[in-house]
Amino acid sequence: MTQYLFVGCILAGLYVIFIWPTQRLYSSFDNLERNAKRVITGTQLQQWAMGLLASEPTNPTPKVADLGTNFPPQLLGLIRHRPYIQVQEANTNSPGSVLLVWGSGFLGHSGFEIGPTIFVSYRPNAQAWQPGVYFWTDSPKRRR
């Protein structure tokens, strides 16, 4: 009887150490859009992105830490890892936009493409939150 209890404790420990953190990561990634809608609006995202574009950043790929308080704190708790940020300056074909990306090669990628109200995302899997704000994912498992 004690050997079964010992084996059960070992299996429970292995689950807590290896499987549970992975399940939490998958769950937060799979529910990224839903969780984001709970903590931030499209208008708030758009106001932040337009402010970032107006400041003419010298780095087209700033890190969240570099932005300091100029990053929506609501987005920090969505997934354990911070997003990759890419600032696209306006050109003759498109207004400026900001791309936020979470994920990895293992998980896939999801994020936001944010621009002015005239901005249109050309990603085939982008879903509009409002004019100029789009959520997208490239993971086949997570596409709707």
Digit-coded pLDDT (tens) for 104-122: 776 788 899 999 999 999 8
* Prediction pTM value: 0.77
How many angstroms separate the CA atoms of 45 and 55, rounded? 16
Order of all β-strands in the sheet with 84-88 = 84-88, 97-104, 108-114, 133-137, 127-130
Question: How much of the chain exceeds pLDDT 90, in percent?
Answer: 35
How many angstroms separate the CA atoms of 73 and 70, rounded? 9
How many angstroms separate the CA atoms of 2 and 48, rounded? 59
Cβ–Cβ under 8 Å, residues 95 and 117: no
Question: pLDDT tens-digit profile of 54-100?
Answer: 886 678 888 888 888 889 999 988 877 888 999 988 888 889 999 99
Q: Given a cut of 60, is residue 25 above it in pLDDT? A: no
How many angstroms separate the CA atoms of 134 and 136, rounded? 6
